[in-house]
Amino acid sequence: MAAQKKTRGLGKGLDALFGDVEVKVKRAEETPEAEGASEDASSGREGINYIDINHIKPNSNQPRKTFDEEKLNELADSIMSHGLIQPVVLRAAGRGYEIVAGERRWRAARRAGLKEIPCIVRELSDEENMLLAIIENMQREDLNPIEEAEGLNQMIETYGLTQSEVSKSVGKSRPYITNSLRLLKLPEKIRGFVSEGSISAGHARALVSVEDEERQEAIAEAVIRDGLSVRQIEKMAQEKKASGRKSPASRSKPADVRSLEEELKDVLGTRVNLSQRGKKGKIEIEFYSREELERLIDLLKTLA
């Protein structure tokens, strides 16, 4: 498979980007045309070019979607004091250049007011461009867990790599790749919690074992509110599975019952289960920690 052949050398990671570079300063004063960009790409293998920062655009396949504003400002301050020490890696793209590795440095350099920055220009295919962008970010631990999982999944879905090939390319174990990809099974709301750092990747992986999406979200909110541990989530998931095996399959509830459950959930801030037989029934209110139980008790007392 072509994808296999192209990625054999990618496990070298950043060595593949910088390994044969001589520090030889060149300056690109004019906006490069398509042909000029190709010429610079060839000469870029020989050394470092100083390129107009406005002739550079971000990588559309960049796996990293979020940038910490505070850290960007800190890097910009450092660049103003000491300059941009590590070059940005580019490839020719039309009338300019596209970033392969170093978008954070490029963003910070813009904030620092630099007009041109040191760059290494490489000839790369779309596949090599995307893969090296993922590898560079992962080696620097610049991606949040969801961005990392989406990048790894793109390597598999878009370019047909196996998990084993991905493992070798990014220098991570096969179980690490599998566990990372599991995060993409979570609802969008929980993936958002992980991306913003409200819950850890460990909590998120434990939530994958919780079968009901609504319950996953309720537990995730309890993690943020009450600080549940990963072990507590795993225990709750196991208990739910055990109780599910003992009880018969539940029949679908009438719309008015489901509507009432939603109203109670909004009032109490946790999942509520309403069951009814004839004129009798019961209301089950779920809680996921001692702290949440105490909160519910206090709330019910106020209602009384």
User: Which of 13-17, 32-36, 56-60 has the lowest average pLDDT?
Assistant: 32-36
pLDDT confidence tier of residue 233, bands split at 50, 70 and 90: confident
Mean confidence (pLDDT) of the chain: 77
What DSSP letter does each residue of 241-266 carry, written as one string?
HHHHHHSPPPPPPPHHHHHHHHHHHH
User: Which positions are catalytic?
Assistant: 103
For 100-134, the pLDDT digits (tens) are 888 889 999 999 999 999 999 988 887 787 777 77
User: Which of 27-36, 163-172, 276-285 has the lowest average pLDDT?
Assistant: 27-36
Higher-pLDDT residue of 97 and 264 is 97
Give 125: exposed, middle or buried? Use CB within 10 Å, 0-12, 13-18, 19+.
Answer: exposed
pLDDT confidence tier of residue 10, bands split at 50, 70 and 90: very low
- 93 Cβ contact partners less than 8 Å away, ≥ 6 residues apart: 37, 57
For 234-251, the pLDDT digits (tens) are 888 777 665 555 444 345
Q: What is the pLDDT of residue 242?
A: 59
CA distance 266 to 122: 55
Q: What is the pLDDT of residue 224?
A: 92
Mean pLDDT confidence for 24-33: 42
Mean pLDDT confidence for 32-47: 44
Crossing angle between the packed helical segments 145-157 and 163-170, to the nearest 10 degrees: 130
Instruction: Report the DSSP pairing between strands 48-52 and 25-28.
Output: parallel
Instruction: Report the DSSP pairing between strands 88-93 and 116-122.
Output: parallel
Q: What is the pLDDT of residue 135?
A: 76
Top-confidence range, 4-13, 161-170, 258-267, 289-298 = 161-170
